[in-house]
Structures are given as C-alpha cells and as structure tokens.
Amino acid sequence: MLIDVHTHIYPEKISHKVVNFLQHHYGLPVPYQGIPAELRQIKKRYQVNAAVFFTAATHPSQVRNANLWAKLNYSHGMIGFGTLHPDDPQIDSEIKWLKTMGIKGIKFHPDFQRFFIDDVKALYMYEKIAKDFIVIFHVGDDNAPRKIRYSTPRRLSKVLELFPGMKVIAAHMGGYQMWQDSIRYLCGKNLYFDTSSTAGILPDDTFKFIIREHGYDRILLGSDYPFSDPYGEYQKLAQMGLTGQELSAIAGSNAAKLFKDIGL
C-alpha cells in the first residue's frame, strides 16, 4: 500500500510560475509540473492508493477559490485538503462550507501565509477546526540570519499543548532544516510527521533516529510533489535499513488508519 499525504497541484495556467517560484525559494530542483493530470498519471504508474493534495491561500481573498479548487479535483484516490487564513473575516462560514463539501483536512503554510503558527488569531481557527479536521502544518524553513520564523517546532509545540485532541501532521519530519528542534520539541508528542522533502537531505541516521524516537506508527509518507513522487520517496526509505514493519506502516497503513478515523 502506498498513500502519499503531501502533494501540491495547481491550475495549468499558473503552474509554471509556481514551480519557478518554488525552485528559487528553496534552491531545489522541481522535476514535475504540479498539475492534476500529471499527479494522476504518477499515481497510476506507481499504483499509489491515494494522494492528498494541497493549495494555500496566501491572502484571505484567495481562500474560497483555493477551496473550490480542492473540491473540483477531489475524486477517488485524490483527496483535497482545504485552506484557511487567520485574517479572513468570513472564516466561520468558510469552515461550515468545508464541512458541507465533505473536505476533512486543512493545510496551513504559515511562512507563505505570513502568520505565526501560535498567534492568537491562529488559535481561534484551531479551536473551530480541532474536532472535525485533520490539520497539516508546514513546519520549519532555512536558518538564514534575520529570517522571520513563522513555523518553528517550538511554536507548534505550544499549539499542541492548547489543543491536545487535534489531529495534527507536522510536515518535513517536524521541521524543514530544523530537525534538532523537531527532536527537542515534537518527538513523542501526540502528532504525526510526514517524510516530505526530508529523505536525501537529512542524514539517514538522523532520519531513522527521529522515526524511532517519535514512533514509526506516527510517520506518514509524503513526496512533496512536484518536488518528488511517492515511489521515489518510498525507494529512499527502503534503502535506509528500516524493518519491513516500519516501512509498510510508513508507506501506507498509518495513513489508512488515520484517514479511516475521519471517514476518508
């Protein structure tokens, strides 16, 4: 079983602009186009059981269109997560709309949306969604001097203390380029990590340490498509020396159990 819990897709007319931005921002190659048809082809080619896809509203005015995009491309095996923005004056009605549309997950990218993950205005959102949605956070970024760090593992740990029942996934093994803080503040807490944009960047020994420190039953496969694809990420994990039980759980069965809990 293969379930990819972390992908991104964009409308074809803007996908090339988004891909160019991502390459520049992260300094990493982006080999795929980031469009629905291509992700479906990849899913079919590698017999991926399901792929979760995201879109982010970097401004409150983009929220409804982003969520319509998630619903439009939602189909069997393609699971769209919605988005919210803490500055959206219509946030309560948007949450109701997401529930009506059957969307069961929400993705936040605080660094692109420009809000601190533990800001008071963000806490209001979490209170409204904690019981009914899976919530995935982009966590971490580079450690460049003077960079504003909206989504550190330490900030997320404060959110977990306030909302212990919220089903949370911390992307990038708990904090992109902030893995020591992930170990310090998040390992062992009540949340999941996904593997997106981590294998091949984080040394294998540290990667395996986080898996075993946090618990392999709370690690989910994520490709971060269009940066990679789910089979490529699976292959990286398979070459790390994980046990068969660990690999099988991370590749799909952990996600299947999590999604079953919310009716996906």
Picking from 98, 92, 192, the residue whose alpha carbon sits closest to that of residue 137 is: 192
Q: What pTM value is reported for the model?
A: 0.96
- Residue 34 tokens read as 């980031």
Measure the CA–CA gap between 58 and 84, rounded to whole angstroms.
Answer: 9
Picking from 90, 161, 156, the residue whose alpha carbon sits closest to that of residue 119 is: 156
What backbone torsions phi and psi does residue 91 show, to the nearest 5 degrees?
-60, -40
Measure the CA–CA gap between 56 and 49, rounded to whole angstroms.
Answer: 24
Alpha carbon 8 to its chain centroid, in Å, reads 9
User: Please, where are the H alpha helices in the chain?
Assistant: 12-26, 36-45, 63-72, 91-100, 110-113, 120-129, 153-162, 179-185, 204-214, 230-238, 244-248, 254-261
Picking from 169, 112, 113, 163, the residue whose alpha carbon sits closest to that of residue 137 is: 169
Place of tokens 């909302």: 163
Alpha carbon 126 to its chain centroid, in Å, reads 16
Q: Could you give the number of structural domains in the chain?
A: 1
63-72 and 91-100 helices, crossing angle to 10°:
10
- Residue 227 tokens read as 């940066």
| Cα 29 to Cα 35, 52, 78, 174, distances in angstroms | 16, 21, 24, 22
Residues of the chain with pLDDT under 50: none
pLDDT of residue 76: 80
pLDDT digits (tens, 9 = 90+) for 5-51: 999 999 898 899 989 988 888 888 899 999 999 999 999 999 999 99
The domain in which residue 235 lies consists of: 3-261
CB-CB contact of 79 with 51 (8 Å)? yes
pLDDT digits (tens, 9 = 90+) for 84-108: 999 999 999 999 999 999 999 999 9
Picking from 104, 173, 165, the residue whose alpha carbon sits closest to that of residue 138 is: 173
Question: Residue 220 belongs to a domain with what CATH number?
Answer: 3.20.20.140
pLDDT of residue 137: 98
Place of tokens 């409150």: 60
